[in-house]
């Protein structure tokens, strides 16, 4: 069984470009979460999605950031017009359902560097 | 805003010693999870505690959830170099959103 797959593992973008981060959840998992880990900081919640629906985006910056989880294909975290402060590790997690009895499985992350 | 404070932030000990990592908050969580993260990788779930006062053991690791479900501890007995890593606690609230602590970087020296 493949775990949560994130790609690319490393992404370098120039200021002003767009960054697209992909996340394929574990098989059978319909709940996807995105977290950001800034250098020297802990993981911060960004967004929670189910298939075709955004459930909670309270952690997403108001501008330039968007996320989707289409009916078919991976979840996408999109950052438009990247700035140096967007440089961070972005982690995706998935679960089969909500509730404490269902563990979260994290991917290996995408390390975004904005130059 | 819910905050989880982890202590200590850094811990360097000798092989065979015992240690405890603490995770404290003023908020009540529906569950508390502990993760371990290796450099360049995502967090890996170690355990989930749900009930106030709950104690779970995983080999040499003992996890405890406070009675009021606001705090938790991780105790490692006879630490080994393979235990070296970043340990993270995370509290879950309704809505399946995790609030992470800043982490404890543990180094176990041979």
Nearest chain A Cα distance for residue B28, angstroms = 14
Has residue A92 got a pLDDT over 90?
yes
Decide: residue A21, CB within 10 A, 0-12 exposed, 13-18 middle, 19+ buried.
buried
Q: Per DSSP, what are the bridge partners of residue A12?
A: A113
Which residue, A96, A89, A77, is CA-closest to A114? A89
8 Å CB contact between B79 and B17: yes
> A100 contacts in B (CB within 8 Å)?
30-31, 48, 50, 92
Indicate the helix (H) or strand (E) that contains A43. strand A43-50
Q: Cα–Cα distance between B43 and B105 in angstroms, integer?
A: 13
Q: What is the pLDDT of residue A111?
A: 97
pLDDT at residue A21 in the model: 98
A93 in B contact zone (CB under 8 Å): yes
Distance CA B76, CA B74 (A): 7
DSSP code of B96?
T
Is a pLDDT exceeding 80 seen at residue B67? yes
Residue A103 banded pLDDT, cuts 50, 70, 90: confident
Q: Which residues of A touch B44 (CB under 8 A)?
A: 106
Confidence of residue A58 (pLDDT cuts 50, 70, 90): very high
Look at A68 and B3; give whichever has higher pLDDT. A68
- Residue A42 is predicted with a pLDDT of 86
Contact list, B87 vs chain A (CB under 8 Å): none
Whether B96 and A48 lie within 8 Å, measured CB to CB: yes
A50 interfacial to chain B (CB closer than 8 Å): no
Chain B positions touching A35 (Cβ under 8 A) are 98, 100
Residue percentage of chain A with pLDDT more than 70? 96
pLDDT digits (tens, 9 = 90+) for B15-60: 999 999 999 999 999 889 999 999 999 999 999 999 999 999 999 9
CB contact under 8 A, A43 and B88: yes
DSSP string, B70-81: SEEEEEESS--G
Which band of pLDDT confidence, cut at 50, 70 and 90, is reported for residue B95?
low
CA angle B104, B106, B110 (to 5 degrees): 175
**Residue A85: exposed, middle, or buried by beta-carbon count in 10 A (0-12, 13-18, 19+)?**
exposed
* Averaged pLDDT for residues A12-31: 95
Mean pLDDT over A64-72 rounds to: 95
- B50: distance to nearest CA of chain A, Å? 7
């Amino acid at each position: 069984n493949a775990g949560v797959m994130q790609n690319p593992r490393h992404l370098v973008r120039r200021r002003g470009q767009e960054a697209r981060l992909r996340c394929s959840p574990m098989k059978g998992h319909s709940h996807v979460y995105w977290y950001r880990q800034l250098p020297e900081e802990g993981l911060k919640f960004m967004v929670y999605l189910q298939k075709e629906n955004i459930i909670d985006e309270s952690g997403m910056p108001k501008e330039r950031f968007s996320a989707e989880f289409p009916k078919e294909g991976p979840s996408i975290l999109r950052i438009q017009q990247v700035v140096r402060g967007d440089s961070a590790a972005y982690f995706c997690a998935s679960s089969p359902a909500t509730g404490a009895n269902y563990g979260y499985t994290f991917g290996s992350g995408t390390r975004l560097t904005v130059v | 805003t819910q905050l989880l404070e982890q202590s200590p932030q850094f811990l360097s000990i000798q092989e065979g010693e015992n240690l405890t990592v603490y995770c404290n908050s003023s908020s009540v969580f529906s569950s508390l999870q502990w993760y371990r993260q290796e450099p360049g990788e995502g967090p890996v779930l170690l355990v989930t505690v749900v009930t106030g006062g709950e104690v779970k053991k995983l080999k040499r690791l003992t996890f405890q959830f406070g009675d009021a479900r606001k705090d938790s501890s991780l105790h490692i007995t006879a630490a080994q170099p393979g235990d070296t890593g970043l340990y993270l606690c995370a509290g879950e609230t309704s809505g399946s959103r995790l609030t992470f602590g800043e982490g404890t970087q543990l180094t176990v020296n041979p």
